[in-house]
Amino acid sequence: MPQQPGSPDPFAPFSVEMTARIRPCREEDLPTLEWFGLFESHRELIRSTFEQHRENQGAMLVADVNGVASGQAWLDFSRREEEAVAVLWAVRVFPSLQNLGIGARLVAAAEQVCRESGCVEVEITVRHDNPSARRFYTRLGYRPYEDMPQSGHWVMRKALLALAPRSRS
């Protein structure tokens, strides 16, 4: 079919503008976090983590891209509470939106929530067969803490700087 004179080639690459923001997970986000059935088998885990989030034993953050929860980062404050270490887990961004800075923003927001919750460190477990994740967390300041060859994981940790006291004027 011939193209109309003066109209752009509909098959040429083009840019799309998106608005993304990090926010706490809401109950209506839960079905979206199954990502079109990819994580449907995790439905109960998603629900129980949300209950932890409601009870302030953890936090669930989402990357809202044009109104859709397209990334997530979950925190568990109870697992290492005695050490004041938050456990960061289930960090993921929808595949077509990866490498756009969304994951780094999710982790930065999660670290902020950890600081506000009184944590002094945050840790994440990374599979040995996922070297790109290890590079990602290393770039964000995480360092090897423990190698767990039996389970095929590394534990990485990052010390959190304390929040500066707010000035009272």
d(CA 46, CA 108): 21
Q: Which two tokens stand for residue 163?
A: 């929040």
Find which of 9-18, 46-55, 152-161 is predicted with most confidence, using mean pLDDT.
152-161
Would you state the pLDDT for residue 32? 86
pLDDT band at 24 (very low <50, low <70, confident <90, very high): very high
Mean pLDDT over 127-156 rounds to 95
Q: Does an H or E element contain 3, and which?
A: none
Would you state the pLDDT for residue 43? 83
Beta bridge partners of 148: 153
More confident site: 52 or 103: 103
Q: What 3-state DSSP class applies to 154? A: strand
Would you state the pLDDT for residue 168? 45
Would you state the pLDDT for residue 1? 56
Q: What 3-state DSSP class applies to 8? A: coil
Q: Report percent pLDDT > 70 for the chain.
A: 93
pLDDT band at 3 (very low <50, low <70, confident <90, very high): low
E strand spans, the chain: 20-24, 58-65, 68-80, 85-93, 121-127, 143-148, 153-159
- In the CATH scheme, what is the code of domain 20-159? 3.40.630.30
Could you tell me the sign of the dihedral formed by the alpha carbons of 126, 92, 17, 5, in that order?
positive
Each residue's pLDDT tens digit, 42-65:
888 888 888 888 888 899 999 999
Would you state the pLDDT for residue 57? 85
Mean pLDDT over 134-143 rounds to 96
